[in-house]
Structure 1
């Protein structure tokens, strides 16, 4: 018996959903309900499609059979909206079922790649309820499969009107000191500060602050920067200048962490100095997101991104956007003889097949987990559900 069979049984409701989502194979002809000459009284009332649906599919690939789960949500419908699911801090992890239950969402899928087994902080930008939580790490420090043309700032974003889009969120941040000098801030609550840079940590951070100044822009295991410092700011004034520490950032406080040239610049500050810390995530589209999760685009304008890997098969999670603005969540089971996983190239194809014109790859492997109406509907590849720092959720009636 497979893990999927052990975890759950497919109910007749899935067949009903498929009947709603998949078009009939025979075109409508004269005398059918689709014929414009049939009176409305004869055709009967049109039942609107559900606001959110789930279906399971078995597909054949070059590597073997694969089971996918697909959720489609219409964010234009009243009472339907997307939200980012997180813990109290950016590095706090929970399983996708726990995230979903705590937030009361109808559907959820795991989110961005993250600094696994270290800070556990997401690699890319994240926005919850309009508030910026994290900015991207340096390109060489993003833990994810290589996707041609992708950028650590890439996100799936949903704006305040419920419109989803692929976007890029870059950090616009600085600390201005008493003489008017403006020092650039390179990261917000990121697990890796670029070499020579300054990072900003807020009360959304709870991990090892010193570790953000270790590694290089290309090697997470490189030694810590020889010159490191942190500056605590409270009420617009420098409260303390000290070696980088560990633990959470207290409420009402901001911590500037610097390495190399960034550390040298921060050493000019002293307790009591007035400073102005400003930060925001700027969207390439010009539309501020209400919700955003990091990922790598694999489908644009109905076509797969050129150069996607066609060989490596893994459990996958992804999200897509239809031409009408519906949101698609997708998982593909893997690492089993009954479901061998899909490649990045096949991920783009499965999103397109589900109706997406744009799509993004999310964290995969043991993280891939989908919840629909209170239960896990896919078959995660590990014996226990992996705890993740964020998930992408949908609230629906």
Structure 2
């Protein structure tokens, strides 16, 4: 593009250039969750809601404490903070991450990352853009119309090139860096003109913009009677879509007009490299007809204007600029919101940009919302930003978009800094903020060991030695043939491969030349676990059966670790079997046994797989459905269908339940139900401990649930998937043991939920399908045949009365500190089950029905079906007899205990 340039105009010879280093009847869009409707010409306009929110007072109890500080590269440091805040009288905690960039350091820079290959209308994840451009750290960027082509709502400058102009929307701020590295946060407007060969001029409305509703101007519609430039940064063929206008377009190559379309007709081409298309409508299109001809020169000139100073800014004098939303912090204090924030309320993941009072530091802020962090409100974000040194700052597009990646010291690739609201799933977005290094290679400054810091007994792990130079960038040290050693017998190490031997800690040290590094490796014992689970919790008790039983341990900090086969000891009750390669095989079943147990122990911590003659019971495969299935919803604007159809892919040749939904016309929390058998549902006849089903996902990121009505009339909701983050068929295994459901029950609905918070981040249309629903109902066999009735014992008496028949026992129940203790063997004799005693570990393993209970003498903690729990009292060992707390054990085994104070009698019922 050719352009003239004066003091108030800017030269932009290559719009949209990219550096590696660096119409329907109704048009619906959303900005941060606010619905924004653009009618076609002639309809009554519905304006995007605008208003100024007073500062929501942040809780005075807000505190933030730095928990870690890590250098990413020379001039860029990642700081992690833990914050605590009181909300409505309750304390909430969370984590926030800050990348602090030293703008005085010549080896570090900040720039905008855009889509794929630096192009608009392409969209890519934050991590993908960081990898493509070589960023050492990055976060998501500007707000965008999720229903549009993929262009930012705010302005964008990258490497001095104006990629996209600010939208004419009140109160939107942007963050910029000048070429002399001065940070600016301000509101910017765009000014530009096109000059024809005859000297006539036409006002430009913007560059590379999607359709929107301007505010505060003469036009309700962005592209009516307006002229826009589209550069080769805009890859979409529509410029833009859903504008409610028909364009006349002009192709300009090397400053010369080479094509002009027919009136009200777009050029059927993408913008050629280095060229631009002038897109006009109405009065602007008349200007084209009156003043422009193929072969004539056409000149463009434009600039940005600062709202704070009124001065024009040449984009070539900006290193970068990225748009945002409301101002958050000004002069080190919480600022009044410059734009309505009603649509971005609640406690969410957040992203923000700011700078220090002296302009030396830029702060890139990301607040986590995941299992470890509660997210923040905008007012809490203001408090956080001021507490970490932000003098002026603005809000970026947060919620499900919030994503930070960074390159750990000595590593060569960036990784996700924390789980997003969707786990490890990263949303595809239009742009982001990248941090880059241009430092030369320095000398070796340090080395570090990469590898797992936590191991389980028997687990092997590989460790690598990586180095970083004087600029904290990665440098190769592996070629130095490092030597390795371990400080304790808990871990053995050879050539970088470590083996966990026994519980404890060890310092694993590597030495390369004159430098060495150590890392602490902890080998976990049974006492470090809170849960031990098998990949399959129930199975069929039948010779020849083979089921997968990978064992997973959950440690006290919540992390899950796969337990190696070599670390698990197996015991089989009621059958003979073996476990190899993570698979349990039933070799033979003992005569008369209906319930068997495969007990897995890791350093004394146990879990059990219950095998029964019932096992997983097929419940519905949709091949011969004899009851009605219907689509229902909570919102009349939500449309959809629920029907039995032919399956696809893995389920071709099978019938499936297909649920399609369209929520685009709805608002608020929306549901799409596949309803079984009217309001009655379909019966689940016996107590189910788990459920499995095949689900074809649509990667909508919506919530998938099931609704039951139990025997007591209560509605029970079961999560099938918190986010539908897959496509194609996938088997889901759902644990029902903690649902509190009373059986028999009925499955009433399978359904998709689109919650209101962050709704613009999820698909409003989609199709899911279901097949092969099964329930594991161990009560059909594992509880079957267990004795029922009543048993009673009197304190101090060595007798037990079962269903009216008295028998002698060799140990009397006793009361100690208000707790009744009994010999468990006699309770199990009366009501079924078995108990085993290990004199070495002083543990009692009790098995009854679908329950496996592990107790330890003098310990209040117990393990039930692989989950560590805490009791008020512990088992005792008295005179060589093991006595257990009666109420604890009986209630955990599904028995009812009653106490008669006057006669000192305990009654147990089943």
Q: Above 0.5 in TM-score?
A: yes
Partner of 2:227: 198
Partner of 2:432: 391
Distance change >3 Å, CA 120–CA 394, structure 1 → 2: same
By how many angstroms is 1:253 displaced? 2.2
Matches within 5 A, 1:238-257: 238-242=257-261, 243-245=265-267, 248-257=270-279
TM-score, normalization by structure 2? 0.35
Matches within 5 A, 1:163-242: 163-192=182-211, 193-211=222-240, 214-215=242-243, 224-225=244-245, 227-242=246-261
Match of residue 260, structure 1, among 282, 288, 293: 282
Matched, 1:97 2:132: no
Whichever structure has more strand as a proportion of its residues is 2
By how many angstroms is 1:62 displaced? 4.2
Partner of 1:75: 103
Distance change >3 Å, CA 395–CA 265, structure 1 → 2: same
Tell whether the 8 Å contact from 2:127 to 2:415 is kept in structure 1 after alignment: yes
Tell whether the 8 Å contact from 2:74 to 2:108 is kept in structure 1 after alignment: no
Partner of 2:640: none
Matched, 1:277 2:311: no
1:97 match: secondary structure: helix
Distance change >3 Å, CA 195–CA 313, structure 1 → 2: farther
Partner of 1:355: 389
Distance change >3 Å, CA 354–CA 237, structure 1 → 2: same
Partner of 1:150: 171
Match of residue 78, structure 2, among 21, 44, 54: 54
1:249 match: secondary structure: coil
Tell whether the 8 Å contact from 2:74 to 2:105 is kept in structure 1 after alignment: no
Matched, 1:378 2:378: no
Matched, 1:119 2:140: no
By how many angstroms is 1:76 displaced? 0.6
By how many angstroms is 1:252 displaced? 3.4
* Bigger Rg, which one: 2
By how many angstroms is 1:385 displaced? 0.7
Distance change >3 Å, CA 256–CA 320, structure 1 → 2: same
Partner of 1:303: 333
| CA distance, structure 2, for counterparts of residue 95 and residue 83 of structure 1 | 16
1:70 match: secondary structure: strand
| CA distance, structure 2, for counterparts of residue 129 and residue 318 of structure 1 | 21
Provide Cα deviations, 1:158-193, integer angstroms capped at 9, x if missing partner: 111222121343323211123321100111111134
Tell whether the 8 Å contact from 2:230 to 2:239 is kept in structure 1 after alignment: no
By how many angstroms is 1:388 displaced? 1.8
Tell whether the 8 Å contact from 1:125 to 1:136 is kept in structure 2 after alignment: yes
Partner of 1:23: none
| CA distance, structure 1, for counterparts of residue 417 and residue 253 of structure 2 | 46
1:317 match: secondary structure: strand
Tell whether the 8 Å contact from 1:91 to 1:122 is kept in structure 2 after alignment: no
TM-score, normalization by structure 1? 0.76
Distance change >3 Å, CA 82–CA 174, structure 1 → 2: same
Partner of 2:322: 293
| CA distance, structure 2, for counterparts of residue 245 and residue 67 of structure 1 | 50
2:320 match: secondary structure: strand
Higher relative CO (Cα under 8 Å, sequence separation at least 6) belongs to: 1
5+ long unaligned stretches in structure 2? 1-65, 212-221, 408-413, 438-470, 472-910
Matches within 5 A, 1:7-86: 15=67, 17=69, 51-63=75-87, 64-86=92-114
By how many angstroms is 1:290 displaced? 1.0
Distance change >3 Å, CA 57–CA 252, structure 1 → 2: closer
| CA distance, structure 2, for counterparts of residue 52 and residue 202 of structure 1 | 33
Provide Cα deviations, 1:295-324, integer angstroms capped at 9, x if missing partner: 132111112222475852221110110113
Provide Cα deviations, 1:214-248, integer angstroms capped at 9, x if missing partner: 44xxxxxxxx12x4221112233322222124653
1:172 match: secondary structure: strand
Distance change >3 Å, CA 15–CA 210, structure 1 → 2: closer
5+ long unaligned stretches in structure 1? 1-13, 21-48, 140-148, 216-223
Tell whether the 8 Å contact from 1:157 to 1:292 is kept in structure 2 after alignment: yes
Distance change >3 Å, CA 98–CA 246, structure 1 → 2: farther
| CA distance, structure 1, for counterparts of residue 367 and residue 356 of structure 2 | 19
Provide Cα deviations, 1:59-92, integer angstroms capped at 9, x if missing partner: 2334533321111121112312212122331222
| CA distance, structure 1, for counterparts of residue 274 and residue 389 of structure 2 | 45
Matched, 1:128 2:158: yes
By how many angstroms is 1:56 displaced? 2.1
2:373 match: secondary structure: coil
Partner of 1:106: 136
| CA distance, structure 1, for counterparts of residue 383 and residue 281 of structure 2 | 43
Match of residue 374, structure 2, among 336, 340, 344: 340
Distance change >3 Å, CA 298–CA 245, structure 1 → 2: farther
2:120 match: secondary structure: coil
1:387 match: secondary structure: coil
Distance change >3 Å, CA 392–CA 237, structure 1 → 2: same
